[in-house]
Amino acid sequence: MLNISNNSVATKIDTNAYSALKKVESKITRRLTIKIVKWSVFLFFIVSMMPWTQNVRTHGNLTTLNPDQRPQEIQSVISGRVEAWKVKEGDFVEKGDTIVLISEVKDAYFDNNLLQRTENQIRLKQQSSDSYGKKIDAQNRQLEALNNNRTLEINKILVKIEQIKLKIQNDSIAYKAAQLDYSIAAYQYNRMDSLYNQGLKSLADLEARRMKAQQAKAKEVAAKNTWESDKNELQSLRIELNNINAKFQSNFAKVLSEKLTTETDKFDTETTINKLENQYANYETRRGFYVITAPQDGYVTKLLVQGIGETVKEGEALLSFMPKNYQLAVEVYVDPIDLPLMNVGEHVRLQFDGWPAIVFSGWPGASYGTYGGEIYAIDQFISPNGKYRLLVRPDSKDHPWPKDLRVGGGTNAMILLNDVPLWYELWRKVNGFPPEFYKPIDSNNKK
C-alpha cells in the first residue's frame, strides 16, 4: 500500500486474500519494476545516440526525362473534315502509320486540279521571263551597234577635222603669199606711176603695172576667202561632231530605257514565278496534311474528336498519344524553405503507389520496397503551387525501378540529407527547426 495517510488500514485487510495485492506488495515485484525502468532509460539513451538521416518528405508524380517522351496530343495542322479513323483507343501504332484522314473545307482548295493549274501558270510565266531575257539580249546588241556606229562616225569626223586643219594651215600660207604678192605689185605700180609722171615710162607700161596690181589683189582676196571658208568648214565639222554625240545619246538613252523597262518586267515576272512556286509548294504540302500519321511509335490513349464528318480547326487536338519508349523520372515539389538544401545529384528514396513498402524515415537502409533516385534538375523559378519543382531520375547504382510503372503515377519521396544523432533530430522537431544546411562534398553542379 502507499501508506500516505497516518491512519493505516494494513491491520484491517487480509493481504493473503487478494493475489494481485499480494504480488504488488512483494519485494520481487519492486525489484523487477526498478530493473525495467533502468533498462528502459539505458535503451532510450542508446537509441538516442543512434544515427538518424535527416530528410525532406514530399510527394510527386511519374514523368519522363525527355519532353518528346511525355504524353502528347496530336493536332491537325489545317482546318478539315474528318473522313475516316484508322485507329481506335488503345491501339499501338508505329511511326508513320495513318491515324485519321481529313478532307478540305476551304473553298480556295476545292479544285482537284489545283496543283496542275498552278504548275501551268508557273510554266507560262517562265516562258514569258525567257522572252523578256531574249528581248534584253537584242537590246544589248542594239546598244552595242549604236556604240560602234558612234565610234565610226566620230572617227570619220575627226579625220575630216584633221584634214581641214591641214588645209586651213596651207590656205593661211597661201593667203600670206598673196598678201606679199599684192604688196610687191602695189609697190611696183606706185613706182611706175612716179616714173610715168616724170615722163620716163609710157602709159602702156603704167596700165600693165596697174593690171598686175589688181590681179595680185584679186588673188589675195581669193586666198583669204578660201582660208575663211576652211575655218567655217572646221566649225561645221565640230558642230556635226556634237550633233553626232547628241543623237547617239538620245538613241542610246531611248534603247537603254526600253531595256530597263524590259528588265523590270522580267523581274516582276520572276517575282510572280517565285510566288507561284511558293503557292505550289504550299498546296503540295497542304495535301500531305490530309493524312495524319503517328509521329513515333506509341499508343493511342484517347480520341478527342468523335465520329465521321466532324469539322476540326487548325491546331485542334484530335487524340492523345503516349510514346512507346520513354525514360522514367519523378517530379516532386519542395517548399522554398527547403530549397537551399537541394543539390543536383542528391540521393532520394522513392515509394511508388501500388508497390508495397516498409519505410523507416530516418533509416533508409532499413526500409523495404523503396527505390533509389538522384536529383537531375532543379527549377530556377517557383511553380504555380508556390513550391519549387525537382526532377529525379533513377539511380544507376541502385536496383532498377519496376517495369510496370506508368507515367502519371503517384510517388512518395524522401530526399536524404545529413546524418545526425536521433536525440538531435527529436530536439529539432520539438523546437520546429529546419534541417541543417547540407551540401555534398562531391557535388559540383549548381542548382
Compute the average pLDDT of residues 21-26: 62
Q: Which residues contact 403 (CB under 8 A, 6 or more apart)?
A: none
Compute the average pLDDT of residues 126-152: 91
User: Do 124 and 22 share a structural domain?
Assistant: no
Domain boundary among 323, 344, 376: 323
CA distance 372 to 377: 16
Compute the average pLDDT of residues 99-126: 90
Compute the average pLDDT of residues 199-218: 81
The single-letter code of the amino acid at 68 is: D
User: Do 442 and 351 share a structural domain?
Assistant: yes
Cell of 243: 550633233
CA distance 174 to 152: 33
User: By C-alpha distance, which of 7, 1, 6 is closest to 26?
Assistant: 1
Cell of 62: 511519374
Cell of 195: 616714173
CA distance 228 to 294: 100
Q: Rounded to 10 degrees, what is the CA torsion of 14, 18, 20, 23?
A: 50
CATH of the domain at 407: 2.40.30.170
CA distance 127 to 125: 5
- When mean pLDDT is compared across 29-43, 58-72, 297-311, 342-356, the lowest value belongs to 29-43
Instruction: Give domain status of residue 140, yes or no.
Output: yes
User: Are residues 184 and 178 in contact, defined by beta-carbon separation less than 8 angstroms?
Assistant: no
Give the pLDDT score at 58: 87
* Three-class DSSP category at 274: helix
What would the pLDDT profile of 167-204 be if each residue is shown by its tens digit? 888 888 888 888 888 888 888 878 888 887 887 777 78
Half-sphere exposure of 306 (CA within 13 A, CB side): 0
Instruction: Give domain status of residue 109, yes or no.
Output: no
Task: Give the total number of structural domains in the chain.
Answer: 4
User: Are residues 75 and 424 in contact, defined by beta-carbon separation less than 8 angstroms?
Assistant: no
Give the pLDDT score at 307: 80
User: Do 54 and 44 share a structural domain?
Assistant: no
- Cβ atoms < 10 Å from Cβ of 172: 16
Give the pLDDT score at 393: 92
Half-sphere exposure of 255 (CA within 13 A, CB side): 18
Q: What distance lies between CA 156 and its chain's CA centroid?
A: 64
The DSSP bridge partners found for residue 61 are 331, 410
User: Do 81 and 55 share a structural domain?
Assistant: no
Report which of residues 151 and 46 the model is more confident about. 151
Instruction: Give domain status of residue 385, yes or no.
Output: yes
User: Do 355 and 446 share a structural domain?
Assistant: yes
What would the pLDDT profile of 6-16 be if each residue is shown by its tens digit? 666 666 666 66
The DSSP bridge partners found for residue 391 are 331, 377
CATH of the domain at 243: 1.10.287
User: By C-alpha distance, which of 359, 345, 373 is closest to 60?
Assistant: 373
User: Do 447 and 330 share a structural domain?
Assistant: yes
CA distance 348 to 429: 21
Domain boundary among 302, 323, 344: 323
Compute the average pLDDT of residues 57-64: 88
Helix (H) or strand (E) holding 120: helix 114-197
pLDDT beyond 90 at 435: no
CA distance 72 to 301: 10
Using the CB atoms, write b or e for 391-418: b if 16+ within 10 Å: bbbbbeeeeebeeebebebebbbbbbbe
Sign of CA dihedral 322, 324, 327, 328: positive
Sign of CA dihedral 105, 108, 112, 118: negative
pLDDT band at 424 (very low <50, low <70, confident <90, very high): low
Instruction: Give domain status of residue 445, yes or no.
Output: yes
Instruction: Give domain status of residue 128, yes or no.
Output: yes
422-431 vs 27-48: helix axis angle to the nearest 10? 80
Q: Which residues contact 16 (CB under 8 A, 6 or more apart)?
A: 22
User: Do 42 and 126 share a structural domain?
Assistant: no
pLDDT beyond 80 at 361: no
Report which of residues 19 and 217 the model is more confident about. 217
Give the pLDDT score at 81: 92
User: Do 229 and 141 share a structural domain?
Assistant: yes
Give the pLDDT score at 137: 93
pLDDT beyond 60 at 163: yes
- When mean pLDDT is compared across 21-25, 195-199, 335-339, 344-348, the lowest value belongs to 21-25
pLDDT beyond 60 at 447: no
Give the pLDDT score at 444: 47
User: Are residues 413 and 332 in contact, defined by beta-carbon separation less than 8 angstroms?
Assistant: yes
Give the pLDDT score at 370: 81
User: Are residues 332 and 389 in contact, defined by beta-carbon separation less than 8 angstroms?
Assistant: yes
Q: What secondary structure does DSSP assign to 6-49, as a single string? A: SS--GGGS-GGG-HHHHHHHSHHHHHHHHHHHHHHHHHHHHHHT
Strands (E), 305-405: 311-312, 317-323, 328-334, 347-352, 371-378, 388-394
In the DSSP assignment, the letter for residue 370 is: -
The single-letter code of the amino acid at 313 is: K
User: Do 135 and 7 share a structural domain?
Assistant: no
C-alpha distance across the termini of the chain, in Å: 67
Give the pLDDT score at 408: 87
pLDDT band at 390 (very low <50, low <70, confident <90, very high): very high
Give the pLDDT score at 300: 93
203-288 vs 114-197: helix axis angle to the nearest 10? 170
CA distance 226 to 174: 9
Compute the average pLDDT of residues 28-53: 69
Instruction: Give domain status of residue 414, yes or no.
Output: yes
- When mean pLDDT is compared across 106-120, 352-366, 431-445, the lowest value belongs to 431-445
In the DSSP assignment, the letter for residue 92 is: E
User: Do 388 and 263 share a structural domain?
Assistant: no
Compute the average pLDDT of residues 361-371: 60
User: Do 396 and 300 share a structural domain?
Assistant: no
What would the pLDDT profile of 260-318 be if each residue is shown by its tens digit? 999 999 999 999 999 999 999 999 988 889 999 999 999 999 999 888 889 999 989 99
Domain of 368? Answer: 50-70+326-447
Instruction: Give domain status of residue 378, yes or no.
Output: yes
User: Do 334 and 295 share a structural domain?
Assistant: no
